[in-house]
Structure 1
Amino acid sequence: MDRSELVELLTADGLRLLDSLPPYPTKDEAVRLVGRLRKEGHSPELVAAVLTQSRLRQKAVGKFGPFAGRMLFTEAGLEQATRLPVAALHAGRFARAGLTRIADLGSGIGADSMAMASLDLEVTAVDIDEVTAAIASYNLAPFPTATVRNAAAEDVSLDDFDAGWFDPARRTAGHADTARLSSAADYTPSLDLVFGAATRLPTGVKLGPGFDRSLIPDDAEAQWVSVDGQLVEMALWFGPLARPDVRRSALLLADGVHHELHAEADADDAPVRELGDYVHEPDGSVIRARLIGDLAIRLEAGMLGQGIAYLTSDTATSSPFATTFRVLERLPMDEKVLKRTMRDRGIGVLEIKKRGVDVDPAAFRKRLALKGDGSATIILTRIAGRHSALLVERVTPAADA
């Protein structure tokens, strides 16, 4: 969305037109809808703006639920926005610490500020992009304790705030088709500014889950967050926002339920052991937090291989922090053998998981020439230094019970 489209949209007529639209149409329906709206006298800019917003609102339901229907977005802003349940957890940290005046620096479309304002925290959302700041103003309009500033984070004095929440830009500038920045040195605001602020006042920082761990300050609590099996962020917490004796945390959100595994430091890996009857795939947050060793203790499991993030055990002990598979058969990672096995079992749909092997699952699956009505899962990995394929089936908690 450019400035001219936003100007057209942010009028009483523009917003009424947006709210009057049906659910985002199919391609053919969209063409007819554009024609109808143009015949009614609406400008090309407004028609483009309302259809874009209709599409983004539908897409945003996964992150914002019913709130998406009253919000505005840019393509990049929605992609980078914090999911509302995660934003609520961020806001809770500030509230529990008794911090009430928060600077949200790099606020984007205002997701985290919305969560803070919903707890009656006084939040100032700051974004350097004019269009994004305007959209944040719209999204935050229902919250009397929220204000928005169109400014660079570097130009905002923190003297009037109790705490700072930073979401450094990790992608190139723009409202759509942005690219991920490969180096943390290119983040805006810079990590020097962010970590410098953390030495002066309570600070939280949202970063990508693949952030270079060597750059994590020693005094920070690092928490990796997974939502419904998708690893979404790594947050750093400083001062009273960090919990005593917690430096590594894996937090899972699934179906409204929270599970957390945390420790004072990285866990030592469990010893490697022989393949058991079960293989456990740790959640991505556990892997990134390097708490696989602690999870192994809970599962009475060992490592499947050195440096391989799979655990194996003789029992099907379940955990929200891992997906458990029953091993049906161990096979060599030989395409001819696997092709014959899949054919004999009538497997037409194959899920391929892999760690420690250089395989393109899509290409590998195609070469197996699958046929049949059955489905299966295989794990391609290294066991005792040798490439192996494990034919497995998922173990659900009900089945385990």
Structure 2
Amino acid sequence: MDRSELVDLLTPEGFRLLDSLPPWDAQADVVRLVSGLRAQGHPAGLVASVLSQSRLRAKAESKFGEFASRMLFTDAGLEQATRLSVAALHAGRYSAAGISRVADLGCGIGGDALAMAALELEVTAADTDEVTAAIASYNLAPFTSATVVNARAEEVDLADVDGVYLDPARRTAGHSETERLTKASDYSPSLDFAFGLGERMPTGVKLGPGFDRSLIPAQAEAQWVSVDGQLVEMGLWFGALARPGIRRSALLLGRAGTAELSADADSPDAEVRGLGEYLYEPDGAVIRARLIGDLARELDAGMLSEGIAYLTSDAAHATPFATAFRVLEVLPTDEKKLKAALRERGIGTLEIKKRGIDVDPAQLRKRLQLKGTASATIVLARQSGKHVTLLVERV
């Protein structure tokens, strides 16, 4: 979306047309829909804009729920926006720390600022892109405590705020078809700027879950967040926003509720042990937070192999921090023998999980030429350093 498209959309005619559209249907005949709207006399540019917004609102429901139907988005803005459930936890940190005035630097379409404003925090939301800032202004319009400015993070006056939140741009500039930046030195604003703020005032920094751990400042609390099993972000918290005694945290959000595993440092891995009756696959947040050892001790489990994020034990223990599997059989590692073993069992649908093994599951599945009506899960990993293939079932 460029500036002219946004100007056309932000008109009474634009909003009437957008609100008149039926729910977005990805299978609908878009050409026919466009032709119908054009026949009603609507300009081509406006038709394109409202259909794009209708598509994005439908896509945004997974992040913003029912609020998505009253918001505006860009493709890139939605891709990078914080899920509302996670943004609410961010906002809660500021409120719990007694911080009432926050600068959201690099606010994007305003997801985090929206959650802060909903808790009646005073928010100054800034974005360097003019279109994105305008969309954030629209999304935050219902909140009198929120102000949006079109400015670079480094230019925002912080004299009247108690804390700062930053979501540095980790993709190339633009509103669609952006590319991920592979070097932390290319983030905007820079990490030096963000971490510098953390040294002098309460600061939160949202980063990707694969962020280089060697760059994490010693004084920060690092929290990896997983939503319904999907690892979505790593947050760094400084000053009053960092909880005493916690430097590593794995936070899991899901339909069953919220669960957290935390420690004052990386936990040492558990000892490697022989294969037990049960196998555990830790959640990605636990793995990234390097709290596998603590989880293993909670489960009375050991490592399947050194450096491999699978745990094994002789008993099943319920935990939100890992998926548990019952080990049914140890299958051959040789591909031809594995193929024969799966055919003997009539397995035609196969889930392949792997760690520490250089294999493409999709290509392996094709080579196995599966036949049969049964479905199964196999785990390709290392046991005490040696390749092992396990037939398992979820507990």
* TM-score (norm: length of structure 1): 0.97
Counterpart of 1:74? 74
Looking at structure 1, the residues matched to 182 and 298 of structure 2 have their Cα atoms a distance apart, in angstroms, of: 36
Pairwise mapping of residues 276-355 of structure 1 onto structure 2 (< 5 A)? 276-355=276-355
Cα displacement string for residues 356-383 of structure 1 (whole angstroms, at most 9, x for unaligned residues): 0000011011101112221110100111
AA partner of residue 179 (structure 1): E
Cα displacement string for residues 329-364 of structure 1 (whole angstroms, at most 9, x for unaligned residues): 112322112211221111111111100000001101
Looking at structure 2, the residues matched to 102 and 239 of structure 1 have their Cα atoms a distance apart, in angstroms, of: 14
Is 2:120 aligned against 1:115?
no
AA partner of residue 21 (structure 2): L
Counterpart of 2:86? 86
Cα displacement string for residues 110-142 of structure 1 (whole angstroms, at most 9, x for unaligned residues): 000000000000001100011111110110011
Structure 1 vs Structure 2: percent identity of aligned residues? Answer: 70
Counterpart of 1:242? 242
Pairwise mapping of residues 7-156 of structure 1 onto structure 2 (< 5 A)? 7-156=7-156
Looking at structure 2, the residues matched to 354 and 32 of structure 1 have their Cα atoms a distance apart, in angstroms, of: 45
Counterpart of 1:399? none
Counterpart of 2:158? 158
Looking at structure 1, the residues matched to 75 and 374 of structure 2 have their Cα atoms a distance apart, in angstroms, of: 39
Cα displacement string for residues 275-320 of structure 1 (whole angstroms, at most 9, x for unaligned residues): 0000000000000000000000111000000100000000011200
Assess, with a 3 A threshold, how the Cα gap between structure 1 residues 63 and 26 changes in structure 2: closer, same or farther.
closer
Query: Aligned with 2:29: secondary structure?
Result: helix
Equivalent residues of 2:331, 2:341 under 8 A apart = no
Is 2:361 aligned against 1:377?
no
The alpha carbon displacement at 1:108 in A equals 0.3
For these two proteins, the number of residue pairs brought into alignment is 395
Query: Aligned with 2:92: secondary structure?
Result: helix
Q: Where does the alignment leave 5 or more consecutive residues of structure 1 unmatched?
A: 396-401
Q: Which range is displaced more, 197-206 or 24-33?
A: 24-33
Looking at structure 2, the residues matched to 177 and 44 of structure 1 have their Cα atoms a distance apart, in angstroms, of: 22
Query: Aligned with 1:225: secondary structure?
Result: strand
AA partner of residue 211 (structure 1): F
AA partner of residue 179 (structure 2): A
Pairwise mapping of residues 167-182 of structure 1 onto structure 2 (< 5 A)? 167-182=167-182
Equivalent residues of 2:107, 2:125 under 8 A apart = yes
Q: Which range is displaced more, 24-33 or 216-225?
A: 24-33
Pairwise mapping of residues 148-297 of structure 1 onto structure 2 (< 5 A)? 148-255=148-255, 257-297=257-297
Equivalent residues of 1:332, 1:387 under 8 A apart = no
Query: Aligned with 1:294: secondary structure?
Result: helix
AA partner of residue 73 (structure 1): F
Is 2:364 aligned against 1:364?
yes
Q: Which range is displaced more, 46-55 or 327-336?
A: 327-336
Equivalent residues of 2:286, 2:321 under 8 A apart = yes
Cα displacement string for residues 173-209 of structure 1 (whole angstroms, at most 9, x for unaligned residues): 1111111111100000000100111111100000000
The alpha carbon displacement at 1:323 in A equals 0.1
The alpha carbon displacement at 1:384 in A equals 2.0
Cα displacement string for residues 226-248 of structure 1 (whole angstroms, at most 9, x for unaligned residues): 00000000000011100000000
Looking at structure 1, the residues matched to 28 and 286 of structure 2 have their Cα atoms a distance apart, in angstroms, of: 45
Query: Aligned with 1:199: secondary structure?
Result: helix
Equivalent residues of 2:380, 2:388 under 8 A apart = yes
Looking at structure 2, the residues matched to 341 and 118 of structure 1 have their Cα atoms a distance apart, in angstroms, of: 57
Looking at structure 2, the residues matched to 170 and 216 of structure 1 have their Cα atoms a distance apart, in angstroms, of: 16
Looking at structure 2, the residues matched to 26 and 116 of structure 1 have their Cα atoms a distance apart, in angstroms, of: 33
AA partner of residue 126 (structure 1): A
Query: Aligned with 2:226: secondary structure?
Result: strand
Query: Aligned with 1:45: secondary structure?
Result: helix
* TM-score (norm: length of structure 2): 0.99
Q: Which range is displaced more, 282-291 or 330-339?
A: 330-339
The alpha carbon displacement at 1:32 in A equals 1.1
AA partner of residue 297 (structure 1): R
Q: Which range is displaced more, 92-101 or 19-28?
A: 19-28
Looking at structure 2, the residues matched to 288 and 337 of structure 1 have their Cα atoms a distance apart, in angstroms, of: 35
Assess, with a 3 A threshold, how the Cα gap between structure 1 residues 73 and 236 changes in structure 2: closer, same or farther.
same
The alpha carbon displacement at 1:100 in A equals 0.6
Query: Aligned with 1:109: secondary structure?
Result: coil
